[in-house]
Amino acid sequence: MGPRVKTAVLFAVVAGLFVLVGGLVGEYLFGSWLLGLVIALGLSLVLNLVSFFACDRLVLWSTKAKIVTPAEAPRLARLVDELAPQFGLVAPRLAIVPTATPNAFATGRNERHAVVAATEGILQVLDDRELRGVLAHELAHVKDRDVLLMTFAATLAGAISYAAQIVFFSMLFGGSGNSRGSVNPIVLILALITAPIAAILIQLAISRSREFRADQVGAVTLGDPESLASALQKLESANQRRPITVGSPAQSSLYIVNPFRGASFASLFSTHPPTPERIRRLRAMRADFRYRPGTRNSGARAAPSGQPLRS
């Protein structure tokens, strides 16, 4: 199952959970499953829309990242300027995060508002080929509008959680409700406990699927899977030794590798797929590409073996 199909299936499952929980809540509190859906979705939508439209500013502020000019980060600007046209993008704004932990992320709701941020550490640890692989991964996120996708996933997951909280506090404080007898209380309690947990797990699974997708799109567009594989190997090791100290663990899905821990989380609760698996998949792609080190455009797109290179 490809990353796009898997993402669509996961979205369908979390949407189904939302309909189930919203309907139960609506029947329990108001005698109308539709009203329950509308209230839960409305609460989540307002909060996530604010986050969506202000995501670039909020992320830059919380990570202490500083927007820089090409003159202030010439190496980063040069590589991004080279890569952006290959993804059909205009070069996004650049930012530097003041930490020695090597990492990078992209944010912004669309191409016009996109920001690609690199830490001070990644500019020291990676060579140009590896950094090009990382930046291709981040531009793939921008191209596929992953911030929009993850905001939608967060909206549905948040709606399920808010619906569960509404009923929890209603039961706790003994609020009125004429139709409560129409919903089996055992079924309701089980749904309120399991559905929010399942929604969060699915949201994390979508995040992992988008990371695999960005790895693939970046590597294929660049024509050099090994550049990102080599970079991931260095980044995983460095981030385990020195977790990042700026920002919040809630933002871990933004980064190319999880920077907020020194040891791996259980895979179900991780925002990222296991780095060894990402590296394995990238290196399995190498036979399909011809990488020609030492040429002027060694990081540009290469054709699969046996096919002519396009200029």
Residues annotated as catalytic are 138
Give the span between the Cα atoms of 109 and 147, in whole angstroms. 6
- Under DSSP, is residue 205 helix (H, G, I), strand (E, B) or coil? helix
| Rg value, the chain, Cα | 22
Residues 31 and 179: beta-carbon distance below 8 Å: yes
Give the span between the Cα atoms of 114 and 67, in whole angstroms. 12
Nearest to 116 by CA among 98, 135, 102: 135
Q: In one letter, which amino acid is 198?
A: A
User: What are the residues facing 16 on neighbouring strands?
Assistant: none
Beta carbons within 8 Å of 167's beta carbon, 6+ residues apart: 24, 25, 28, 29, 188, 192
Q: In one letter, which amino acid is 182?
A: S
Q: In one letter, which amino acid is 304?
A: P
Within 10 angstroms of residue 47's Cβ, the number of other Cβ atoms is 15
Tokens read off for 39: 């209230």
221 φ/ψ sector (left φ>0, alpha ψ -120 to 50, else beta): alpha
| CA distances for 272 relative to 83, 85, 215, angstroms | 24, 27, 12
Give the span between the Cα atoms of 54 and 115, in whole angstroms. 12
- Under DSSP, is residue 115 helix (H, G, I), strand (E, B) or coil? strand
